[in-house]
A and B are shown apart, each in its own frame.
Chain A
Amino acid sequence: MDYILVFVIIGLAFVMVAASLIISRILAPYHPGGMKNTTYESGQKTIGPSWIQFNVGYYLIGLLFLIFDVEAAFLFPGAVVFRSVGLAGLIEIGIFIFILFLGLIYAWKKGVINWV
């Protein structure tokens, strides 16, 4: 019965979750209301309600940002092993950046960067 251990771990997982919820309920102070219900704005006082319509442009720019953020994240491992992969690695990274660059051109041509 090698699987006993699995069930024990599953049981433990349930106990852990229940215990952490119960213990925090018992020990933690509980004072709802007041400032706690306001929108979190990095410590600044909020201006107006937070239920407003966002310009869809935010999402498009956000997506674009994400693409280049991920690109940067992929470049780091390439930079770390750069000496050992040599020219082939450089070309591969070049192709990768080129494809992302095409994505930027696409977004540009589609007018994502123009703020309306």
Chain B
Amino acid sequence: MLMIPELIILVTALLVLMAGTMSPNSGKALAPLSMFGIAASFVALVFFSPQTGEMLGGRFVMDPVAWWFKILFLVAGILTVAMSLDMLDGRLTKQVKGMASGAEYYMVLLSTMAGMMYLCSARDLISLYVSLELTTIPLFLLTAWVRDDVRSGEAGLKYVIIGAMASGIMLYSLSLFYGLTGSTDLDVLRVSLTSSPALLAAAALLVGGIGFKLTLVPFHMWAPDVYEGAPLPITAYLSVASKGAGLVFLFHIFYRVLGGFLPDWGAMVAILATATMTFGNVVAIWQKNIKRFMAFSAISQAGYLIMGFLGKSAEGVPAMLFYLLVYIVSNLVVFAVIIFYANETGREQIEEYKGLARRHPMLSLAMMIGLFSLAGIPPLPGFVGKFFLFSVASRAEFHWLVLVAAVNSTVSLYYYLRVVKEMYVDPLAEGDEKKLRVTPVLATTISVSAIAMVAMGVLPFFYEWIHTDTIVWLRGLGL
């Protein structure tokens, strides 16, 4: 039974909803229940699910790449639940008004996770699209979750409108694929597609539609507003998981369907990557709100990520998977500290992080190494991940892109350091001398993921795992 992990997630979603509805006192038990469900799904995936196999007549397939993507989504999901729980249980020093009950929140969050996991295994344009919508529509809801906050509502509305447009663009592309071949099966598409203007149009529309998800420039404009308005744990989830979903979709289409054409389109991927990382970095420098800052940082990270699509070899796939893993963990460490600080003080401006290192040295340390990992400083994993992505680009003869990316990494170091400077160098503001308390769950989340992050950078076998798991299978595809 390949579908067990997904089914566990869906059943947990229903259980959480029903438990929350049936007994009003169950509020605090819902987050542990969701985390238990995600953990059970993780165990089922790691220990009981084979890395290859198919069911439903080849419509639902498991392969090593899908397996690894599912692991990433589960990690992101469990960390997000751990970060959300203080907000939903009301353990905040500064209360957020108009927060609906936790049952629906976790249920919707688990649905979007299920959508992402189905996305990894779908092998048909229709089921791919349905899975992507199952991923996206719950995210609209979660973005607008804070009922009394105008910004949250505005963010939700913007996300719905732009998300609908992106879906429309993508459906156009999928319908062109169907029109060219008369089939929605990815394997049939792969053998029957030939080069034609319509194929180029389909690929361009696809990059446009998925570009919204991946926040590639010029399809990024929704990201800062949505990230700023959404509740913080959802911002964190959006910035990692929604990107991962976009990457899975692109992977399906680019490698499974268009594998033969992709090498010729390297220049376009390189231009997109250049635009995305440069724009994200340059604009991030000017941000004052930490959420917007992280939004632009996330945009620039997407630019590095798609460098993995360059070149003929399949080496880009393990590089992208590893970087996504590193990015998820590093970004969530940073977001967990941001959430902690916002929970305690309600502050979201970068300059308000002044002197945080004196108020809570350990958490500032976690945030600093998280930011350094995002900037790509050795020996942290961000450096290792970038190294593999850059080497993919350089093997594909895009030396100029490697140069641009390296310069961009340096630029990004400047603005990440700005936050570190506020925390470490600047003195405490008046009246901030009181020590901050951190809730046990958040403290555990931050320390575990920070240690995991450092371990990923120092220990070489994480990349080895992903590489050995996926590369043989990918070579078997003829990549």
Partners in one complex: yes
Which residues of A are at the interface with B, using a C-beta cutoff of 8 A? 3, 99, 102, 105-106, 109-110
Contact, CB under 8 Å: A106 / B17: yes
Contact count A vs B, C-beta below 8 Å? 14
Within 8 A of A (CB), among B37-88: none
* Cβ-defined partner of A109 (8 Å) among B14, B21, B198: B21
* Chain B hits for A106, CB < 8 A: 17-18, 21
Chain A's nearest CB lies how many Å from the CB of B450?
38
Write the chain A residue with the least CB distance to B21.
Answer: A109
Write the chain A residue with the least CB distance to B104.
Answer: A106
Contact, CB under 8 Å: B197 / A99: no
Within 8 A of A (CB), among B1-17: 14, 17
Q: Please measure, in the bound complex, the distance between the C-alpha atom of A105 and the C-alpha atom of B15, giving whole angstroms.
A: 13
Contact, CB under 8 Å: A110 / B21: yes
Q: List the 9 shortest-distance A-B pairs measured between CB atoms, nearest first.
A: A109-B21, A106-B21, A102-B14, A102-B18, A106-B17, A109-B22, A3-B197, A99-B14, A105-B21
Which residues of B are at the interface with A, using a C-beta cutoff of 8 A? 14, 17-18, 21-22, 197-198
Contact, CB under 8 Å: A102 / B22: no
Known interface pairs A3-B198, A106-B17, A109-B21; 9 further A-B residue pairs with C-beta atoms within 8 A, sorted by A's residue number: A99-B14, A102-B14, A102-B17, A102-B18, A105-B18, A105-B21, A106-B21, A109-B22, A110-B21
Chain A's nearest CB lies how many Å from the CB of B349?
37
Q: Please measure, in the bound complex, the distance between the C-alpha atom of A115 and the C-alpha atom of B22, giving whole angstroms.
A: 20
Does more than half of chain B's interface fall in helix, strand or loop, or is it mixed? Answer: helix
Chain B's nearest CB lies how many Å from the CB of A17?
20
* Chain B hits for A99, CB < 8 A: 14
Q: Please measure, in the bound complex, the distance between the C-alpha atom of A110 and the C-alpha atom of B18, giving whole angstroms.
A: 11
Chain A's nearest CB lies how many Å from the CB of B417?
49
A-B contact pairs, 14 of them (CB 8 A): A3-B197, A3-B198, A99-B14, A102-B14, A102-B17, A102-B18, A105-B18, A105-B21, A106-B17, A106-B18, A106-B21, A109-B21, A109-B22, A110-B21
* Chain A hits for B21, CB < 8 A: 105-106, 109-110
Chain B's nearest CB lies how many Å from the CB of A91?
14
Q: Please measure, in the bound complex, the distance between the C-alpha atom of A109 and the C-alpha atom of B197, giving whole angstroms.
A: 55
* Chain A hits for B14, CB < 8 A: 99, 102
Q: Please measure, in the bound complex, the distance between the C-alpha atom of A99 and the C-alpha atom of B21, giving whole angstroms.
A: 14
Chain B's nearest CB lies how many Å from the CB of A38?
34
Chain B's nearest CB lies how many Å from the CB of A64?
15
Write the chain B residue with the least CB distance to A99.
Answer: B14
Chain B's nearest CB lies how many Å from the CB of A41?
33
* Chain A hits for B22, CB < 8 A: 109
Write the chain B residue with the least CB distance to A107.
Answer: B21
Q: Please measure, in the bound complex, the distance between the C-alpha atom of A3 and the C-alpha atom of B179, giving whole angstroms.
A: 13
Q: Please measure, in the bound complex, the distance between the C-alpha atom of A3 and the C-alpha atom of B21, giving whole angstroms.
A: 57
Chain A's nearest CB lies how many Å from the CB of B3?
13
* Chain A hits for B198, CB < 8 A: 3
Q: Please measure, in the bound complex, the distance between the C-alpha atom of A110 and the C-alpha atom of B100, giving whole angstroms.
A: 12
Q: Please measure, in the bound complex, the distance between the C-alpha atom of A56 and the C-alpha atom of B23, giving whole angstroms.
A: 25
Q: Please measure, in the bound complex, the distance between the C-alpha atom of A73 and the C-alpha atom of B235, giving whole angstroms.
A: 38
Chain A's nearest CB lies how many Å from the CB of B154?
22
* Chain A hits for B197, CB < 8 A: 3
Q: Please measure, in the bound complex, the distance between the C-alpha atom of A112 and the C-alpha atom of B14, giving whole angstroms.
A: 19
Write the chain A residue with the least CB distance to B14.
Answer: A102
Which of A3, A106, A109 has its CB near the most chain B CB atoms (within 10 A)?
Answer: A106
Write the chain A residue with the least CB distance to B198.
Answer: A3
Q: Please measure, in the bound complex, the distance between the C-alpha atom of A110 and the C-alpha atom of B197, giving whole angstroms.
A: 54
Q: Please measure, in the bound complex, the distance between the C-alpha atom of A106 and the C-alpha atom of B14, giving whole angstroms.
A: 10
Write the chain B residue with the least CB distance to A106.
Answer: B21
* Chain B hits for A3, CB < 8 A: 197-198
* Chain B hits for A110, CB < 8 A: 21
* Chain B hits for A102, CB < 8 A: 14, 17-18
Chain A's nearest CB lies how many Å from the CB of B7?
11
Q: Please measure, in the bound complex, the distance between the C-alpha atom of A99 and the C-alpha atom of B107, giving whole angstroms.
A: 13
Which of B17, B21, B197 has its CB near the most chain A CB atoms (within 10 A)?
Answer: B21
Chain A's nearest CB lies how many Å from the CB of B6?
14
Write the chain B residue with the least CB distance to A108.
Answer: B21
Chain A's nearest CB lies how many Å from the CB of B201?
10
Chain B's nearest CB lies how many Å from the CB of A88?
13
* Chain B hits for A109, CB < 8 A: 21-22
Write the chain A residue with the least CB distance to B15.
Answer: A102
Chain B's nearest CB lies how many Å from the CB of A92?
12
Chain A's nearest CB lies how many Å from the CB of B325?
33
Q: Please measure, in the bound complex, the distance between the C-alpha atom of A109 and the C-alpha atom of B18, giving whole angstroms.
A: 10
* Chain A hits for B17, CB < 8 A: 102, 106
Chain A's nearest CB lies how many Å from the CB of B8?
15
Write the chain A residue with the least CB distance to B17.
Answer: A106
Write the chain A residue with the least CB distance to B103.
Answer: A106
Write the chain A residue with the least CB distance to B23.
Answer: A109
